[in-house]
Amino acid sequence: MKRLHFILLVALILIQAGCATFDKKDDTASRSGIPGETVASLIGKLETVNQTLVTCKGIGRMNFVRSGRGQHLRIAWVSRVPEKLRVAILGPDGRPLLTVSADGTWLYALDHTTGEFHKSAPDGHRLQTVLGLPLDVRSLALILAGRIPEFDYDRTEASAGRTADETAVVLKKWWNRVGKVYVGKTRPAILRPTILRIESYRQTGEVRYIADIMEIQIVKGYVVPRILTINPDAATRFTLDIDRYWVNEPVSPEMFVLQPPE
């Protein structure tokens, strides 16, 4: 019994030491790499970017490459950010080949070529199954709206960007890195940071996906993607080249509910 008490005491000391180290490594008060900006103020601005963008929709071209083989199709989407999203993959004639939709409660998938219909709970793996993307609905809707996904983190650290023109914020949960956001290091970023890349990590430390905003556009004052790529791994790449983008247009809730074909 005394040995057990001793082990518990040692464990408690180690936990307390770890917590002390954790507090010291919190980098929120340090400089972010942007003049006049701390990590805390930068992440605060990142989390409020485009908060008043309630709905968005767009149409463009999709290029999906896996193991060297690619598909080039048209794509259209509409979203009520962040819980509702509808995506349609279109054929050359403009007719839908596949529609995937989430209404906040259910995830629907309808293959228009076969009539096959699925309805399930929108857990984080379903978009991998129906669209080949390792994202949950909320993350994809937020990225399309020019925002960062909802990472579960409790620490932030400043990090160098890939070039001298950008900086990065690392998001951590305990000692694990859960995300990394790259931001343009330009003077307008002091007022409104420009998101350039989002990296998401699994608990094992492996990359879940990398989303690169290759080109941005400004629609009614909102900075949103114009060209977006999402890479789950080295062999897979999803590229969205947006032709038209609308913000805060009226969207009916019924638009996100799919019914099985009759």
Q: What is the pLDDT along the chain (262 residues), one digit of tens a residue?
A: 444 343 333 333 333 333 433 333 444 445 555 655 688 888 888 888 999 999 999 999 999 998 778 889 999 999 999 999 999 999 988 899 999 999 999 999 999 999 999 999 877 667 888 888 889 999 999 999 999 999 999 999 988 888 888 889 999 998 899 999 999 876 554 457 789 999 999 988 899 999 999 999 999 999 999 999 999 888 889 999 999 999 999 999 999 999 998 8
The whole-number pLDDT of residue 189 equals: 47
Q: What's this model's pTM, rounded to 2 decimal places?
A: 0.84
The whole-number pLDDT of residue 114 equals: 95
Q: How far apart are CA 215 and CA 238, in angstroms?
A: 15
CA distances from 248 to 46, 48, 225 (A): 20, 17, 16
Phi and psi of 71, rounded to 5°? Answer: -125, 135
The whole-number pLDDT of residue 31 equals: 56
Q: How far apart are CA 172 and CA 170, in angstroms?
A: 7
CB 122 within 8 A of CB 137: yes
User: What is the per-residue burial (b if ≥16 Cβ within 10 Å, else e) of 73-85?
Assistant: ebbbbbbbbbebb
The whole-number pLDDT of residue 1 equals: 42
Among 251, 64, 222, smallest CA distance to 147 is for 222
The whole-number pLDDT of residue 191 equals: 59
The whole-number pLDDT of residue 35 equals: 54
Is the domain spanning 28-250 CATH 3.40.50.300? The answer is: no
Q: What is the DSSP string of 81-144?
A: TTTEEEEEEE-TTS-EEEEEEE-SS-EEEEETTT--EEEE---TTHHHHHHS----HHHHHHHH
The SS3 assignment for 14 reads helix
